[in-house]
Amino acid sequence: MRETAFERGNRLAAADQQEQAIAAFSECLRHNAQDWQALFNRGTAQMRLKHYPLALEDYLAAAALKPTSTNIKCNLAVLLKELGELTLAENLLLEVLQAEPEHVDAWSNLGVVLQYALRYDDAVICHQNALQLAGASAGRLNNLGNALTCALRLDEAVSAYRQGMALAGADAFLAFNLSVALLLQGRYREAWPLYEQRWDSIIQPRYRDRAWQGQDLGQQSLLIWAEQGLGDTLQMVRFLPELQRRHPSARLMLACQNACLRLFAQLPNIELLPLEDAPPAHDWQLPLMSLPLRLGIEPDNLSGQPYLHADLQLAHTYAARLPPCSVNRPRIGIVWETGSWGVGIVDHSRQNKSVPLEQFLPLLDSIDADFISLQLGEQAPELQGRVHQLPISDFADTAAIISQLDLVISVDTSVVHLAGALGKPVWVLMRAESAPFFMAQGDTSPWYASMRIWRQATPGDWPPLIARVAKTLRQWPRD
């Protein structure tokens, strides 16, 4: 029997050949524009390709033709979540659950939506409902573990991930997410091997061949390459001297972001390469954030001491451009935003790490000080005449400015790692969910002796934290 276009579309979609599936469903619709199932399936294929406007068009058309379909509403809610429309997504899923209280996918999707909405305990309940209705699965346990991790209910999160791994075996997403929960608990020895599963879950590696496993290098060459954010690169270069000590005859090359090249020129006997350039021939390669695994790093053997310094001539140049140094009027560097973000859910986490400027401003009124913006980009109108801003081209410039400051106050971004690496007092404004290398609690960091961590009490609620920081700042440095 000849395969219909609809059947062909379903088969191609199942084989993850989404473009071909879209063509097949479009063929169906040319014959019958009222085929709501073809519209729905084409929308799903479009969503998998991240063609969100086209997916939205198809889902809305399908919903108009079949308004009672809970599956259409459920998928449309997932799409709305991707577009950042969390309230609309939540309301749609609640509508599905009112009609079908045992709709498992609706419970799971609602849990994910509520997690993005920072309602973590509510998200946990949704995922528990899905598990109760449909039983344990790797995906449902992974969702539960993620919500528990965000809520910092870490023992429960670890248990959920381990249950999922017992069911699914070598599931890279479960293993990587488990590593994050373990890092938050400071259980580094257990976490580092699992953290390697990032390559099969959330990141595509630049190189896979000739991965170094920690064996003696002798006179061989090792290419170490930056893999994630700028803060991660600044944090992990601390281990290069230890790597040199253990392999004194090896040729060590570091491929890193351009913003780091001038600053890292101070690292002795390390060949620096732009990350985007093709590297020279090498015997082995290692992603930078795998160094802690290869070196056996744990909180107890971490040094929080400074390991970078500012260029003296550059620091002198910036010092002349800053307000005069005064005992009674400290110079304080500030960062309230992690950078610009796009539309939708993609940059949701980064956005939640930032303090809205209007909520950050009370800090400027809490102390008689010269505030220096370490934030890149144009200065906001609200800060005109209140905050000094100097041109910054890379981290060598930022380090030179920081070296002339008394304190840095910043959200969780690369600047806090740079300030800590320089040994400069730095206060981190940390969201309630924390971050893997900042532990789940406590106001100090094993990574940086000069760091103080200020933690949100409630997810997304910055004003009480800012008020606490402002109160302490009024007494600083007398406290």
The enclosing H or E element of 240 equals: helix 240-246
The reported pLDDT for the residue numbered 100 is: 96
The reported pLDDT for the residue numbered 180 is: 98
Tell which of 236, 265, 297 closes a domain: 297
The reported pLDDT for the residue numbered 476 is: 82
- Examine residue 212 and state whether it is found in any structural domain, yes or no: no
> CB neighbours of 421 closer than 8 A, spacing ≥ 6?
234, 235, 237, 238, 306, 307, 308, 448
- Examine residue 463 and state whether it is found in any structural domain, yes or no: yes
As a whole number of angstroms, the distance between CA 235 and CA 426 comes to: 14
Could you tell me what percent of the chain has a pLDDT over 70? 98
The reported pLDDT for the residue numbered 1 is: 43
As a whole number of angstroms, the distance between CA 272 and CA 395 comes to: 15
Domain match, 382 and 423 both: yes
Write out the residue range of the structural domain in which residue 37 sits. 5-200
313-322, Cβ contacts within 8 angstroms, sequence gap of 24 or more: 314/396, 314/397, 314/400, 315/399, 315/400, 315/403, 315/404, 317/400, 318/390, 318/397, 318/400, 318/401, 318/404, 319/404, 321/390, 322/370, 322/372, 322/388, 322/390, 322/401, 322/404
pTM: 0.94
CATH number of the domain residue 152 falls in: 1.25.40.10
Domain match, 164 and 238 both: no
Tell which of 297, 323, 357 closes a domain: 297
The chain-wide mean pLDDT, for the chain, equals 94
The reported pLDDT for the residue numbered 340 is: 61
Domain match, 291 and 362 both: no
Domain match, 161 and 13 both: yes
Structure tokens at 340: 């610009």
Domain match, 341 and 265 both: no
Domain match, 165 and 258 both: no
The reported pLDDT for the residue numbered 110 is: 98
As a whole number of angstroms, the distance between CA 77 and CA 93 comes to: 6
CB atoms within 10 A of CB 125: 15
The reported pLDDT for the residue numbered 459 is: 96
The reported pLDDT for the residue numbered 225 is: 97
Total number of domains constituting the chain: 3
- Examine residue 207 and state whether it is found in any structural domain, yes or no: no
Under-70 pLDDT residues of the chain: 1-2, 340-343, 346, 349, 478-479
- Examine residue 146 and state whether it is found in any structural domain, yes or no: yes
Report pLDDT digits (tens) over 74-117: 999 999 999 999 999 999 999 999 999 999 999 999 999 999 99
- Examine residue 187 and state whether it is found in any structural domain, yes or no: yes
The reported pLDDT for the residue numbered 169 is: 79
Domain match, 323 and 462 both: yes
CATH number of the domain residue 364 falls in: 3.40.50.2000
- Examine residue 29 and state whether it is found in any structural domain, yes or no: yes
The enclosing H or E element of 454 equals: strand 451-455
Tell which of 134, 166, 200 closes a domain: 200
- Examine residue 304 and state whether it is found in any structural domain, yes or no: no
- Examine residue 448 and state whether it is found in any structural domain, yes or no: yes
Report pLDDT digits (tens) over 53-68: 999 999 999 999 999 9
